[in-house]
Amino acid sequence: NAGVTQTPKFQVLKTGQSMTLQCAQDMNHEYMSWYRQDPGMGLRLIHYSVGAGITDQGEVPNGYNVSRSTTEDFPLRLLSAAPSQTSVYFCASSFGGPGSNQPQHFGDGTRLSIL
Amino acid sequence: AQKITQTQPGMFVQEKEAVTLDCTYDTSDPSYGLFWYKQPSSGEMIFLIYQGSYDQQNATEGRYSLNFQKARKSANLVISASQLGDSAMYFCAMSPNSGNTPLVFGKGTRLSVIA
């Protein structure tokens, strides 16, 4: 049972480069989300999706794009990497939206460094 | 807007003792859910316990219990009989039950269990 799978686990980029962080879940969850975790800041929501074809912005969406073409996959794209985007990125999914009592299942995270 | 406050950046507890991690929240929604997550040094996010705002009883899951005081808007996590493996970051989170308002996390409390 894979759960939520994030790739890569580690990545180093140069300023200005673009890349896609992959997230896949095999639990048929409708709700998926991306967070970033910075020291002393907790987790902050970047983008989320309530189902295939539907996405919305979270607290810190600037510099990131998402799409949800299938229920299983929710990739996060960095358009032009900046040092301020150095962070640990978590993908999460759940059966219901956050208003339900269903906990979010998290991937193991992607540690991203922008030089 | 929702807000979670965890006022204890770090806590120490002796092994086998109980410890309470504080969480207060602010919301204007009448119905909401509260979650606690554990993040060990390995980095993954582990769901611990859930409390619904209209639940009649405080939630319990094994050694974890939630001291929910609705009038005070507090949802403190109590860990009984602490173990060395409980050393981790602990995050409180909440979301309203209406719509798809995303989960909001506190900044976390680092718990260290001492032998």
Reported as a single tens digit per residue, the pLDDT across B64-104 is 999 999 999 999 999 999 999 999 999 999 988 776 677 88
For tokens 């949802």, what's the residue? B75
CA distance B15 to chain A (A): 26
Nearest to A99 among B91, B97, B108 (CB): B97
Residue burial A77-92, b: 16+ Cβ < 10 Å; e: rest: ebeebeeebbbbbbbb
Residues 6+ apart with CB under 8 A from B59: B49, B50, B51, B65, B66, B68
The candidate with the shortest Cα–Cα distance to B51, out of B60, B39, B40, is B60
Phi, psi of B36 (to 5 degrees): -125, 135
Q: Residue A38's closest chain B neighbor by CA?
A: B107
Confidence grade of residue A1 (pLDDT, cut at 50, 70, 90) = low
pLDDT at A102 over 90: no
For tokens 């094994």, what's the residue? B62
Residues of chain A with C-beta less than 8 angstroms from the C-beta of B104: 45
Residues of chain A with C-beta less than 8 angstroms from the C-beta of B37: 106
Residue A2: per-residue pLDDT: 74
Q: Residue B4's closest chain A neighbor by CA?
A: A42
The amino acid present at B77, given as its one-letter code, is L
Q: Residue A58's closest chain B neighbor by CA?
A: B102
pLDDT in tens, B23-55: 999 988 888 999 999 999 999 999 999 999 998
pLDDT at B22 over 80: yes
